[in-house]
Structure 1
Amino acid sequence: MSTRDESHLTPRRATLLTYGSIGLFALMSVGSLVDSGSVPWSVIVGATVVAALGAGPVAWLARDRIPASRRETYGRVFVIGGLPAFTLFVGVSLAFGIPFLSVTDAVVVGIACGGAAALLAERTVVPERYRAERA
């Protein structure tokens, strides 16, 4: 055991662990979808398109046109507004019997696929000024 204050979790390792965790979570969702027998392809495709657009062109334009401090503020506002909205959605769905759990796995798979597509595009074809800072 070293007495030096050194972190073994470098930014690159943290990024790889994040991608691995998301991949495993999506893989579990794929298994659940296959096990259920019916795969809601329209939900998967819709979530993939929305996630790819949100993580791709929208994020790239925001990085190009909005200063970093303002983006941080917008991100906090989005989280502060999104969490109660999601909680309200779940509560209303449970109260009125709207089936949201049946499509949750499809949405998870779609978001993982859309995020992966945006990441691949960013690393291959997007100009440098639009790219995220590497960890």
Structure 2
Amino acid sequence: MSLLRLVEGATIPWVSIAGVGVVTAVLVGPVVWFVRDRFSERRRERLTLVSFGLAMILVPIALGLSLAFGVPRFVPSFDSLILGSYLGCVIVLLGEQTLVPKRLRAAD
């Protein structure tokens, strides 16, 4: 839906989408690799559920606060944030599948 709204607009903010994607990849990549290295599969499953639950609580609160107090000027739209974050996560997953040897990403 965010992609469709961005395509319908007059201009697509490629710079902010790419910037958010790179920042997301830089932040998400090491966290994912650290968690995979340190925790068992069962524990990672539990951490995934907890972090998804926290995201489901915090994202609407952050959206409400930003709407109540005004969106910062450096954010062109929430759609570019959503699309950039999605692309950053895809970059991390593709990078892990193509660059990291299979023996290093094998399950415990």
What is the TM-score when the length of structure 1 is the normalising length? 0.58
What corresponds to 1:94 in structure 2? 67
For residue 60 of structure 1, what is the aligned residue in structure 2? 33
Q: Deviations over 1:57-111 (max 9, x none)?
A: 3212211111122222222221222222112112222323437x95222123212
Distance 1:57 1:98 in 2: 29
**Are the aligned partners of 1:52 and 1:115 in contact in 2 as well (CA < 8 Å)?**
yes
- Greater C-alpha radius of gyration: 1
CA RMSD of aligned residues (A): 2.9
2:50 corresponds to 1:74: no
User: Which of 123, 130, 133 is the aligned partner of 2:97?
Assistant: 123
Change in 2 beyond 3 A, CA 1:80/1:122:
same
Partner SS, residue 59 of structure 1: helix
Q: Is contact 1:52-1:117 (8 Å) kept?
A: yes
> Is the CA contact (8 Å cut-off) linking 2:35 and 2:44 kept in structure 1?
yes
Identity in percent: 37
> Higher RCO, 1 or 2 (CA under 8 Å, sep at least 6)?
2
**1:114 to partner: Cα distance:** 1.7
Aligned twin of 1:15: none
The secondary structure found in structure 2 opposite 1:98 is coil
